Amino acid sequence: MRIELDRPRCEGHGLCEEAAPALMHLDDDGELVIDSPDVDGEQDIAAAKAAVRVCPVAALKLVAA
């Protein structure tokens, strides 16, 4: 699976980082960086799904790679 970010829509609320700190983080400028866009393995996929779910503006998607 692959994490896709709608960059213009992302406002840096950072809730996704809290849900999936191993996969993404806000950099020093408050811009979201997806460290591991390609995810496989149960744990990472679960974390990616949680991140997609909590983004308050629906800026993240998990799509088939």
By CB under 8 A, name the binding residues for other proteins. 8-9, 11-15, 18-19, 29-31, 53-54, 56-58
Q: Name every residue whose Cβ is closer than 8 Å to that of residue 21 and which is 6 or more positions away in sequence.
A: none
Q: Provide the strand spans (E) within the chain.
A: 2-5, 24-26, 32-34, 60-63
Q: Which of 1, 10, 50, 62 binds ligand SF4 (CB under 6 A)?
A: 10
CA distance 39 to 16: 15
Question: Rule CB under 6 A: is residue 21 a binding residue for ligand SF4?
Answer: no
**Least distance (Å) between residue 13 CB and ligand SF4:** 3
**Least distance (Å) between residue 46 CB and other proteins:** 15
